[in-house]
Structure 1
């Protein structure tokens, strides 16, 4: 499967963060976008609220100039983060009165968010979802005929 460089880099960073326990939805440096942007929080100045899909003035300027951050436009970054937060169980934008998961750093919860983000990143680049495992279990009658010992 052919992927883009930005997709490869983003997935590698997210995978590493997940396994090193440095993926945290409540921290701007350790959330999905924070990890994609090398654990920086400069992206948070693109909107007025964490999880918002609306660019503020700074974000609009960067977007209109065509500026990208590790290959992603400001609007794409906000959508990536919103996808992650929603999949983890947050009501967005983040606010202390809004709903949030009981344990946002639970591995199962984070994996749900990671899966949603990877799927979204693949959609952005027009690539089939690299986390789609259904093809591994796809079979036909010819598959069964070739390997009858598996089904005996």
Structure 2
């Protein structure tokens, strides 16, 4: 399967973060987007609230000028983060009064978040969902179909 450079790079960073325990939904440098952007938090200035998909003035300027960050537009990055947080069980936008998981860095919670992000990244680049395991179980006339 052919993928894009930005997809491959993002997946490698997220995989590494997951397995090295440097993935944390509540830290702007260690969340999904923070990891994709090399542990920087400058992306948080694209929106007024963590978890929001609404670009603020700074985000709109970057979006309208066609600026990308490691291959992703500001709007794409905000969507990645919102998808990650929702799949991890957060009520958006992040706020200390909103619902959130009891153990946000639990591997099962993080895996749900990453699965949703990978699905979205596949959609963005028009590639088949690499998280879709149903093809492994498809059979045709008692033979495996590949």
Bin for the TM-score computed over the shorter chain: over 0.9
Q: TM-score, normalised by structure 1?
A: 0.93
Match of 2:95 in 1: 95
Q: TM-score, normalised by structure 2?
A: 0.97
Match of 1:109 in 2: 109
What is the CA–CA distance in structure 1 between the aligned matches of 2:131 and 2:10, rounded to whole Å?
14
RMSD of the alignment, in Å? 0.9
Match of 2:120 in 1: 120
What is the CA–CA distance in structure 2 between the aligned matches of 1:20 and 1:133, rounded to whole Å?
24
What is the CA–CA distance in structure 2 between the aligned matches of 1:142 and 1:94, rounded to whole Å?
49
Match of 2:52 in 1: 52
- CA deviation map 1:31-71 (0-9, x unaligned): 00000000100000000111011111100000000000000
TM-superposed deviation, 1:142? 4.6
Match of 1:63 in 2: 63
Match of 1:5 in 2: 5
Match of 1:28 in 2: 28
Match of 1:18 in 2: 18
Greater C-alpha radius of gyration: 1
- CA deviation map 1:110-138 (0-9, x unaligned): 00000000000000011111111111111
